Structure 1
Amino acid sequence: MANAYVIGHITIKDPDKWSQYRDRVPATLQPWRGELVFRGKLVAVLGGEFAHNDTVVIRFPDMDAVKGWFDSAAYQSLIPLRLAAADVDLLAYDG
């Protein structure tokens, strides 16, 4: 069974607001069987250019779950906080 992944590349603008957002996201993942795979800070760019300093990877069972999570009222209600807290590029991958 192929999984789907959401990868977020992040530049934090307001650490307090980011902490609030980050603490609320896991509850939005549960109904969609989303699972945090990795969260980390950039140590080095080994090739090319990269603008962000944090990354998160979330695994879902499939793209329908990704879309369901992203479009859910629970997650959509967090987007204003995310926008105030950080510059985030969210990408979805079928894997």
Structure 2
Amino acid sequence: MAGACLIGRITVKNADKWAEYRSKVPATLAPWGAELLFRGTQSASYAGDDRHQDIVVIRFPDQASIDGWHGSAAYQALLPIRAQAADVVLIAYQN
């Protein structure tokens, strides 16, 4: 898998706000060539503890695309909703 991935570790605080945020994110990803690879809820822990129960993995063509998406006006407009909806850690990885 070439490119870069963005990993989001998530603890939902407000389910309704989270649903609103999630419904709006895909439109912000499309211009950057991003693809949602996985979204799920933790089912078991085999080593260590993670305070976040949910995860999302999004593949981008490269790190510049992640930077562009994250800084875009379209995504930045969603940050107030995200702050109300969940505690989120976003980490980018390149390969």
User: TM-score band, normalised by the shorter chain?
Assistant: over 0.9
**Deviation of residue 45 (structure 1)?**
1.0
**Deviation of residue 2 (structure 1)?**
2.8
**Deviation of residue 84 (structure 1)?**
0.4
Aligned-residue sequence identity (percent) comes to 56
1:11-90 pair list within 5 angstroms = 11-90=11-90
Specify the SS of the correspondent of 1:9.
Answer: strand
TM-score by length of 2: 0.97
TM-score by length of 1: 0.97
Give yes or no for the alignment of 1:8 onto 2:8: yes
Runs of 4+ off more than 2 Å: none
Q: State the Cα RMSD in Å.
A: 1.0
Show structure 2 runs of 5+ residues with no match.
Answer: none
Question: How many residues were matched structurally?
Answer: 95
2:81 partner letter = L
